[in-house]
Amino acid sequence: MERSGRYANASLIILAVLGVIGALYFLKPILVPIALAILLASMLSPITGLVRRILPISTTGAAVVLFLVTAMLGLYLASLAAQGLIEAADTLPSDVERLAGRLSKQVSQISRDQPYLRGLLPEPGTIDLLGDANRNLLIGKLRYGLADLMYLVAQGIIIMVFVLFLLAESEMLSRKLIAFFARSNHDARAAEATLRSLNQQIRAFLVARTLINVGVGAVVTIVLWTIKVKFAVALGVFAALTNFVPYVGQVVGGALPTLVTLAQFESMGGALLVAAIYTAVVVIEGYVVTPYILGRSLDLNGTVILVACLFWGFLWGLIGLVLAMPITACMKLIFQSVPDLHRWAELMSRDWTSPPSAPEPDSIDLDMPPVNDPLAAPAHH
């Protein structure tokens, strides 16, 4: 009977986990904007305080001002992206075709000069066919790129409206959330302190991670603009966004600027220069800047990072890959703040260990003789 009860509990836990995963998958159109809005609100909340110190307005007024400024900046960036898509539709297909022809010519020359390598090299005709196929695919993608951009702009407006309400009602929502879960005043005070500390740590991580990625994108943009590569700003933004995705994102973020540079110039020098500079930037960022700014407390081990990328990428696609690290880091911070979940935080981290728990009071030895208490009442015989 006891064994069947354990099996029933395990079955219920498995069904609950599968139900949560299914809900995350099917509710993607709702949950993705909510997740993005919560992360953005956590990052932008200090700015509302700065606006209130500069302007004599309420929290709602500061949130409205921040919303208007962010909306105008977003629309400006969207216009730049639309202009870049139009220019890319005119030039990128021919660049891809020229790149395929150049690679085909080099492969033919190598096969002619080094006959023993023919079995290892692809057929030049295959490269030409791949170039034509990728050219047609690129034309189709760019053709629908403006429609996708309009959809992203609409989604961005919805997310920013949600951020506006979160910033304007943050204090009220925090109090109601604590009152909903806390059962006593002591629990409420402890929950408020934990929530404040957790919010500060998450905000510090998100701001630092975003600033680091913006720096990577700025370096890529400056390098590409210096050597006269087209779409330097768009490629820099692409490198910054893909840097949110560990390992794979960094490879993709450097491969695309390198291929675009190779397609636009006749020599390999420019492409090799871009690849070398990008590799140096990623190495410095990963081994010097990020550990120095974020420290070891927020580090996740490599296995957890890969599992998180696979999990969130499967559920939410490309945006899931971008959100995988922030969501997983936030989960680890929550686990570190709850003593009952410390073992999960240790499992996810590389170096973090649970703080030592308070020693339990010594147990009473029943075999010891009683201690004479001078204040005790005398015994009656």
Q: What is the DSSP string of 240-290?
A: HHHTTSTTHHHHHHHHHHHHHHHHHSSSSHHHHHHHHHHHHHHHHIIIIIH
Residue 24 covered by a domain: no
Q: Specify the pLDDT at position 371.
A: 45
- 181-230 residue pLDDT tens: 777 777 777 777 777 777 787 888 888 888 899 999 999 999 988 988 88
Residue 98 covered by a domain: yes
39, 74, 57: which is closest to 166 by C-alpha? 39
Residue 264 covered by a domain: no
Is 272 in contact with 265 (CB distance < 8 Å)?
no
Domain interval for residue 117? 31-168
- Give this prediction's pTM: 0.72
Residue 380 covered by a domain: no
Residue 91 covered by a domain: yes
Number of residues that this document lists for the chain: 381
* Count of domains forming the chain: 1
Residue 359 covered by a domain: no
- 245-304 residue pLDDT tens: 877 888 888 888 888 887 777 667 788 888 999 999 988 888 888 777 766 555 688 888
Residue 205 covered by a domain: no
Counting as low any pLDDT under 70, the low residues of the chain are 1-8, 84-93, 95-103, 106-107, 116-147, 149, 266-267, 294-299, 357-381
Residue 94 covered by a domain: yes
